[in-house]
Amino acid sequence: MTRVHVVGTAGYGAADFVRYALRHPHLELGALESHSHADKPVADHAPMLRRLNRRYDAPGTTLEQLKANDVVLLAGRAEDARAFAPKLLARGARVIDLSDAFRLQAHADGAVYGFPERYRAQIARATFIANPGCYPTATLLALLPLAEFANDIVQLIVDAKSGVTGAGRTPVTTSLFAEVDEDVRAYGFAGHRHEPEISQELDAGGITAPFVFTPQVVPLKRGMLVSAYAVFGRTADARAVEAAYERAYAANPFVRILPAARTPSLVAVAGTNDAEIHLSIHDRVARVLCAIDNLGKGAAGQAMQNLNIMLGFPQETALDDRTVVA
């Protein structure tokens, strides 16, 4: 059994990760650290974990209990991850960071960017993984198969809608029910914090066309729908583009390419690590829709997928469960 510790356990993504870990036949829970909820019952704070008879551990418990080859999920603030990750790695731990502390220029920091559909071989050899953000995950799933047509693409447009859990669990006015209900709120026009991450990975895939990114919060607890448009300089070869997507995801168990008559559904992916993709070609425009759970494939599910790859387990281990409760 491999022991896994979680730092910042009180957040939405961390709770989902613990849910997956409880179902994993090869993992056992170590410390469940929380600065804000130390010594409080987990069941009182996370309804999905009510069968877990544990209290949140105080900060520092992970380092006290840590042994070489343990896995640590860092689910707190980026500044905490930057300070904590080197200490854990020096002690021989494997680290998966949910924050954006190490995503940019990940390899320069010794981390592997944890996007399994592109970096699976590197993840399998890694001890330190920077887990991608939810917006970049859905956007990259939608666009990276177009890499072989990169020279023909002149513009990318990405319209992305996220459930409110993407803002985290710390109370802020803009995330209150009365603020988000019956509204769709676009934001980040001056530059969203995930844009550099998206650009980095598109560039790495050879796609350098300029892109416009519009994130929006919708009145849902969880879920993300990206509508991406790749504008070609000439009429796109529909059959060639469709074949590229089929090749890209043929060996990826969590990505479903939908038939023309079916569009991605947030209900279908809720509580899972799945992604649904719909592709259509309109003259010079490839329209790609991608639905994920922002807490699943966009956070905890992808972290568990990365853990499985890193430890040599089947990717699907513990990831066939569902929940629709945030």
At residue 257, the pLDDT reads 97
Tell me: pLDDT of 53 over 80. Answer: yes
Q: Which of 36-40, 90-94, 215-219 has the highest mean pLDDT?
A: 90-94
- 166 in helix, strand or coil? helix
Burial 34-53 (b: 16+ CB within 10 A, else e): beebbeeebeebbebbeebe
Average pLDDT, stretch 209-232? 95
pLDDT band at residue 171 using 50, 70 and 90 as cut-offs: low
Structure tokens at 312: 């040599």
**Predicted confidence (pLDDT) per residue in 229-265, tens digit:** 999 999 999 999 999 999 999 999 999 999 999 999 9
pLDDT band at residue 24 using 50, 70 and 90 as cut-offs: very high
CB atoms within 10 A of CB 149: 18
Q: What's the DSSP call for residue 31?
A: E
**Predicted confidence (pLDDT) per residue in 79-115, tens digit:** 999 999 999 999 999 999 999 999 997 656 689 999 9
At residue 129, the pLDDT reads 97
Q: Which of 37-51, 70-84, 178-192 has the highest mean pLDDT?
A: 70-84
Q: Specify the amino acid at residue 13.
A: G
Tell me: pLDDT of 323 over 60. Answer: no
Tell me: pLDDT of 325 over 50. Answer: no
**Predicted confidence (pLDDT) per residue in 107-147, tens digit:** 566 899 999 999 999 999 999 999 999 999 999 999 999 99
Average pLDDT, stretch 285-297? 97
- Please give the Cα distance from 11 to 61 (Å, whole number): 18
Q: Which residue blocks in 24-114 are alpha helix, DSSP H?
A: 42-45, 61-65, 78-90
At residue 324, the pLDDT reads 44
Q: What's the DSSP call for residue 164?
A: G
- Please give the Cα distance from 138 to 150 (Å, whole number): 19
Catalytic residue set: 134
User: Which residues have CB under 8 Å from 297's CB, separation 6+?
Assistant: 134, 137, 138, 254, 269, 272, 273, 274, 275
Structural domains present in the chain: 2-131+297-311 (3.40.50.720), 135-294 (3.30.360.10)
Q: Could you tell me which of 121, 117, 118, 114 has the C-alpha nearest to residue 100?
A: 114
At residue 106, the pLDDT reads 61
At residue 108, the pLDDT reads 63
Mean pLDDT for the chain?
Answer: 92
Task: State CA 190 to chain mean position distance.
Answer: 23
Q: Specify the amino acid at residue 85.
A: A
